[in-house]
Amino acid sequence: MTLPESPPATHAVRPVPEVTSTPAPLLRVRGLSVSYAPPGKGTHLGTGAALRDADLEVRPSEIVGIVGETGSGKTTLARATVGLVAPAAGSIEFAGEDIGGLRGRARRAFRRSGQVQLVFQDPLRSLDPDLTVTDLVREPLDIAGVLSRTEREQRVAESLRLVGLDPDAVAERRPRHLSGGQRQRVSLARAVATRPRLLFCDEPVSALDVSNRNLVLNLLDQLRAELDLAVVIIAHDLSSLAGIADRVAVFYRGRIVEQGPIREVLGDPAHPYTALLTASAPSIGDEERLDPARLRPTGDTPAWPADLGCVFAHRCPFAHDACADQPASPTLPHAPQRRAACHDAAAWRERLDQPSPQKESA
Amino acid sequence: MSSVREHTASTLEVSDLQISVGDGLVAVQDVSFRIGRGESVGLVGESGSGKTLTCRAALGLLPATGRVDAGRIVLGDGPDAVELTGARRSTWDRVRAGRIGAVFQDPASYLNPSLTVGHQLAEQLRVKRGLRRGAARDRTVELFAEVGLHDPAGVFQQYPHQLSGGMLQRVLIAIAISCEPELLIADEATTALDVVIQAEILALLRRLRASHGLSLLLVTHDLAVVAESCERILVMYGGQIVESGPTEDVLEDPQHPYTRALMGVATIGDWGRRRLDVIPGQPPAAGEKMPGCRFAPRCGYAAAACLAGPVPVTDLGAGRTSRCVRTSASLAEAVPA
Ligand SMILES: Nc1ncnc2c1ncn2[C@@H]1O[C@H](COP(=O)(O)OP(=O)(O)OP(=O)(O)O)[C@@H](O)[C@H]1O
Ligand SMILES: Nc1ncnc2c1ncn2[C@@H]1O[C@H](COP(=O)(O)OP(=O)(O)O)[C@@H](O)[C@H]1O
Ligand code: SF4
Ligand code: SF4
Ligand SMILES: [Mg+2]
Ligand SMILES: [Mg+2]
C-alpha cells in the first residue's frame, strides 16, 4: 500500500487517504504527538515531546515490529494506544473508532473491554506480588466481566498452556517464585486471556533466553493466525523479530525515522540510523557486515548544533546543510511500501567513507 | 575476539558452590570457576539455570530465602584475598563499596524513587570515595556522559520514574563503575538496551577492562555478546556448569550437547523470515532431583549411561571442561534422537 507523503510536522491531523486495495487497518495512528506533563519544578522534562508526529498502521493479523533507541518513544506509543496517556496532537483509530479522543468513562470502558492488551516491559513491576499466577491471568477476565466461572478457569489454564507453562506446576505460585522467563510468560498469558484483537507487546522477550524468546515469538505468530490477532512487538533483537514480523517501524528520539517490510528495511536500510542499528547487532564473526564505526561521525566532524533539524543529525556522518530542516517521511521512489525520514534516504551510501560533507561553519 | 591471555592472579575463585532457595531446594550445585585479573568471563544458559543466584552469592545479595549451603567464594589474591562465604556484614559492605560493582536486569529496583538519580550517585561518591559536594557532582555528570547518557547534566536532576528503562540501566552502570571496582558483575545488564547502545556499553566495558584492569562477569542470553566481549565462556544448565573454555574454541566446536542446542537456537545476524527454533522441553526446577545428567530428558544423545548417576566434569585439556559422559568422538557417531 502506498502511504501519503507526510505534510510538515505542524499539521497535527492529516486527511484520511483514498481507499486502497489492502484491508482496512485495525489501528491507524496519524500525526501522533505525546508529551508528558512537566513532572515538577527544577526538571527540564516536558520541553520535548516523547513522541512526535508518528504515523503507523497495523492491519488485522499483521505483526509489526518496533525497534529503535532506548527512550525514543516506543513505550509511549504503546501507552497512548491503550489510553494510558492522552495524545497532545494527532489521532488514534481502532477498528474505525477514534479512541485517541475518548475521555473518562468511555476511555475506561474501552480499556476494560480488553480489545487491546498491553504486555509490559518489566514483568516484576507490572505483576502484583501478592497474587497467584491463576489470579493474575484471570484478572483481566474478571475486569471485562465475561465468561462463567468455570469458563474463566478453563481459559486461564488454556492461556498458560499457550505460553508454554504447565498450569498444574505454576497455578498457585506467586511472581517472586518464578524465574524472569516464567514471569514474562505469565504476563503474556494474562494479556491473551481476553482474546484481544490487538496485542501491544513492550519488549516481551527482552528478558528471555533465546529458546524462550523464540517460543514466545512463534507463539505470537501462531496466535495471530489462529485468533486473527494483530500484534505490535517492541524488541531489540532484530534477528528474531525479522523471523516473524511483517513490517517494522524504526524509532529514534521521538520519531519514526523509517518503516516498511521488515526484511527489506533491515536488509537494505534507507535511513542512516537503521543502518547503524543493523550494523551494531551482535554477531559471531560476521565479516560482511558494515563496521558501525563507518556510520558514526569521525572525531574531526564539527559538532552539529543540538536540536537543530533532523533528529539524527548530531550523530549522522552524512549530515549537510539541508539537514537543518527536519525531513518529512516520504515513500521511497524505488519501494513504495517503504518510508524514510532522511533527506538523503539510501543515497547516503554513495558517500560512505568520503570526507564528511558537514558544513564547515557548523 | 582477543585471544586468551594467561591470567595468573585471580579476582574471583568459586569452588564447589551450592545454593538453595525456599525450603532447602537446591538451585545451584557443584559450581566451580575462576576469573583471572582483567579477564572477562561470560555466563550463559536458559532462564532459571542459576546464573543470577551464582552472581548474587558472590555479592552477598541472595534473596531472603536463599543460602549458600557449601563451597567457597574467594575475592582477590594474595594479601588482598577475602573469603566471602560466611563473611560478616562489615566485610560485605567494604567489598561492595569498593571491590565489586554490579548491574542487574531490573535497574529501577536499585534506585530510590524519591531522589534524583544524580543525587544518588553523587551521595555515594561523597560517602564511599570522600569527594566534596562540587567534585562529586562534576564526577557524576562525567560518569553519566561516560555511559552514553545524552544531556548528562539534565539527567542528573531527574527522578528514576522519569527515565526510560535503558537510561536507568546506564545510570546503574555509572553507579557500579563509580567505585572503581576490580570486578564488575553484569547480570543481563544490556538486555533492555537497543543494540546501538548495547554495543556502546560493551565497548565501554572493554575500555574499562583495559584501562583499570577490571575483571568482568557478564551474564547474558546472547551467545554473540559473549563472542564479542568475553575471553572465556561458562555454560550453565539446571544449576550446574556444563561446559567451559575459551569462547572462540567453545563456539567453534561445542562439546556438550546443551551448548550445541543453545547454538542451534541462536538467531544471529539473519534478517530472513523463518520458523524460530526452540529447545524442546523445560529445564529442571530448583530442587528437582534427577538420577543422572540433568540435561538427559531433553538431550538427543542420552543413553543408559547418562542416567546411572551424577555426571562429573571432564577436563578436556586446553582450558576446556564438559559435564557429559560422551566424548566428542562418540557424539559424532551418535545420531541425535
Ligand atoms: N512518565 C514519564 N514522565 C516523564 N517523561 C517520561 C515518562 N515516561 C517516559 N518519559 C520520557 O519519554 C521519552 C520516551 O520514553 P519511552 O519510555 O517511550 O521510551 P522507549 O522507547 O520505550 O525506551 P526503552 O527502550 O528504554 O524502553 C524518554 O525521554 C523518557 O525519559
Ligand atoms: N527467591 C527465590 N525463591 C525461590 N526460588 C527461586 C528464587 N530465586 C530463584 N529461584 C529459583 O532458582 C532457580 C535459579 O534461578 P536464577 O538464578 O534466577 O536463574 P537465572 O538467572 O539463570 O535465570 C530457578 O528455578 C528459580 O525459580
Ligand atoms: S536527514 Fe541528514 S542528518 Fe538526518 S539522517 Fe538524513 S543525512 Fe543524516
Ligand atoms: S551426559 Fe548424556 S544426557 Fe547428559 S548431555 Fe551428555 S549425552 Fe546428553
Ligand atoms: Mg520502553
Ligand atoms: Mg537471571
User: pLDDT tens across B27-77, in order?
Assistant: 999 999 999 999 999 999 988 899 999 999 999 999 999 999 999 999 998
What are B333's three cell numbers? 557417531
Asked if A111 and A209 sit in the same domain, the reply is yes
The predicted structure's pLDDT at residue B118: 97
A87, part of any domain? yes
Instruction: Give the pLDDT confidence of A36-91 residue by residue, as tens digits.
Output: 865 443 333 344 688 999 999 999 999 999 999 888 899 999 999 888 888 899 99
Chain B residues with CB inside 8 Å of A209's CB?
Answer: 45-47, 221
Contact assignment for B159 to A39 by CB distance below 8 Å: yes
Domain boundary among A245, A263, A298: A245
Which DSSP category does B283 fall into?
Answer: P
Is the model more confident about B41 or about A291? Answer: B41
A217, part of any domain? yes
What mean pLDDT is predicted for residues A224-247?
91
Asked if A74 and A223 sit in the same domain, the reply is yes
Asked if A203 and A146 sit in the same domain, the reply is yes
Q: Percent of chain B having pLDDT more than 90?
A: 59
Which DSSP category does A9 fall into?
Answer: T
Q: Percent of chain A having pLDDT more than 70?
A: 84
Of residues A59, A10, A60, the one with CA closest to residue A31: A10
Alpha helix segments (H runs only) across chain B: 51-59, 89-98, 117-129, 133-146, 152-156, 165-178, 195-212, 223-229, 247-252, 257-265, 304-307, 328-333
CA of B29 to the centre of ligand 6 (A): 16
Candidate ranges A217-231, A237-251, B156-170, B254-268; pick with highest mean pLDDT? A237-251
Confidence category of residue A275, pLDDT binned at 50, 70, 90? very high
Least confident of B111-120, B162-171, B215-224: B162-171
The predicted structure's pLDDT at residue B211: 78
**Residue B295 CB–ligand 4 contact under 6 Å:** yes
A6, part of any domain? no
Helix (H, G, I), strand (E, B) or coil at B88: coil
Alpha helix segments (H runs only) across B79-158: 89-98, 117-129, 133-146, 152-156
Is the model more confident about B54 or about B329? Answer: B54
What is the CA angle A157-A126-A137, rounded to 5?
A: 15
Per the CB < 8 A criterion, the answer to whether A160 and A178 are in contact is no
CA of A202 to the centre of ligand 5 (A): 6
Q: Mean pLDDT score of chain A, rounded to an integer?
A: 83
pLDDT exceeds cutoff 70 at A276: yes
**Dihedrals φ, ψ of B25, to 5°?**
-80, 120
**Residue B311 CB–ligand 4 contact under 6 Å:** yes
Asked if A218 and A338 sit in the same domain, the reply is no
Asked if A268 and A194 sit in the same domain, the reply is no
Radius of gyration of chain B from its Cα atoms, rounded to whole angstroms = 21
Domain boundary among A210, A245, A280: A245
Per the CB < 8 A criterion, the answer to whether B86 and B17 are in contact is no
Of residues A247, A219, A250, the one with CA closest to residue A236: A250
Of residues B86, B55, B75, B110, the one with CA closest to residue B181: B75
Alpha helix segments (H runs only) across A47-163: 74-81, 104-112, 123-126, 133-144, 149-162
Query: Residues lining ligand 2, judged by CB closer than 6 Å?
Result: A 176-177, 179-180; B 21-22, 27, 45, 47-53, 63, 65-66, 285-286
Q: What does chain B come to in residues? A: 337
Nearest CA in chain A to B220: A209
The predicted structure's pLDDT at residue A9: 37
Asked if A293 and A315 sit in the same domain, the reply is yes
Pick the ligand that lies closest to the CA of residue B327: 4
Nearest CA in chain A to B108: A125
What is the spatial distance between Cα A343 and Cα A340, in angstroms, rounded to a whole number? 9
What is the CA angle A67-A63-A87, rounded to 5?
A: 65
Helix (H, G, I), strand (E, B) or coil at A271: coil
Asked if A232 and A288 sit in the same domain, the reply is no
Confidence category of residue B136, pLDDT binned at 50, 70, 90? very high
The predicted structure's pLDDT at residue A106: 86
A256, part of any domain? yes
pLDDT exceeds cutoff 60 at A356: no
Per the CB < 8 A criterion, the answer to whether A189 and A219 are in contact is no
Pocket test for ligand 4, best of B255, B316, B325, B328 (most atoms within 8 A of CB): B325
A9, part of any domain? no
Is the model more confident about B243 or about B78? Answer: B243
What is the spatial distance between Cα A78 and Cα A63, in angstroms, rounded to a whole number? 14
**Dihedrals φ, ψ of A232, to 5°?**
-110, 125
Residue matched to cell numbers 509511549: A76
What is the spatial distance between Cα B35 and Cα B30, in angstroms, rounded to a whole number? 17
pLDDT exceeds cutoff 60 at A335: yes
Is the model more confident about A294 or about B136? Answer: B136
Ligand 2 nearest-atom number relative to CA B50: 17
Distances (CA, A) of B194 to A67, A103, A165, A327, B197: 8, 34, 28, 23, 5
Helix (H, G, I), strand (E, B) or coil at B1: coil
What is the spatial distance between Cα B211 and Cα B236, in angstroms, rounded to a whole number? 30
What mean pLDDT is predicted for residues B173-200?
88
A220, part of any domain? yes
Confidence category of residue A19, pLDDT binned at 50, 70, 90? very low
Q: Percent of chain B having pLDDT more than 70?
A: 94
Instruction: Give the pLDDT confidence of B254-308 residue by residue, as tens digits.
Output: 999 999 999 988 877 678 888 888 898 888 988 999 999 999 999 999 999 999 9
Is the model more confident about A129 or about B52? Answer: B52
Q: Which ipTM was obtained for this model? A: 0.82
The predicted structure's pLDDT at residue A13: 39
Burial class (CB in 10 A: 0-12, 13-18, 19+), B334: middle
CATH of the domain at A118: 3.40.50.300
What is the spatial distance between Cα B310 and Cα B86, in angstroms, rounded to a whole number? 28
What are B305's three cell numbers? 549411561
Asked if A134 and A152 sit in the same domain, the reply is yes
Q: How many CB atoms lie under 10 A from the CB of residue A114?
A: 20
Per the CB < 8 A criterion, the answer to whether B7 and B39 are in contact is yes
In B76-135, the residues whose Cβ lies within 8 Å of chain A are: 105-106, 108-109
Domain boundary among A214, A245, A276: A245
Asked if A241 and A294 sit in the same domain, the reply is no
Of residues A72, A82, A67, the one with CA closest to residue A206: A67
pLDDT exceeds cutoff 80 at B91: yes
What is the spatial distance between Cα B279 and Cα B141, in angstroms, rounded to a whole number? 45
pLDDT exceeds cutoff 50 at A122: yes
What is the spatial distance between Cα B17 and Cα A187, in angstroms, rounded to a whole number? 33
pLDDT exceeds cutoff 60 at A143: yes
Task: For residue A226, give the H/E element and its range.
Answer: helix A210-226
Which DSSP category does B209 fall into?
Answer: H
Q: Which domain holds residue A355?
A: 250-361
Asked if A143 and A263 sit in the same domain, the reply is no
Contact assignment for A281 to B192 by CB distance below 8 Å: no
What mean pLDDT is predicted for residues A189-205?
90
Q: Percent of chain A having pLDDT more than 90?
A: 44
What are A308's three cell numbers? 537543530
pLDDT exceeds cutoff 70 at A5: no
Asked if A219 and A280 sit in the same domain, the reply is no
A116, part of any domain? yes
**Dihedrals φ, ψ of A279, to 5°?**
-70, -25
Task: For residue A335, give the H/E element and its range.
Answer: strand A335-340
The predicted structure's pLDDT at residue A77: 94
Least confident of B30-39, B94-103, B244-253: B94-103
pLDDT exceeds cutoff 60 at A206: yes
**Residue B233 CB–ligand 4 contact under 6 Å:** no
pLDDT exceeds cutoff 80 at B9: yes
What mean pLDDT is predicted for residues A182-203?
87
Number of separate domains in chain A: 2
Q: What pairs with residue A308 in β-bridges?
A: none
A41, part of any domain? yes
Confidence category of residue A1, pLDDT binned at 50, 70, 90? very low
What mean pLDDT is predicted for residues A86-108?
88
What is the CA angle A126-B157-B128, rounded to 5?
A: 90
Q: How many CB atoms lie under 10 A from the CB of residue A133?
A: 27
Asked if A237 and A347 sit in the same domain, the reply is no
What mean pLDDT is predicted for residues B303-323?
93
The predicted structure's pLDDT at residue B229: 92
Judged by a CB distance cut-off of 8 A, whether residue B195 touches chain A is: yes
Q: How far is A120 from chain B (nearest CA, A)?
A: 12
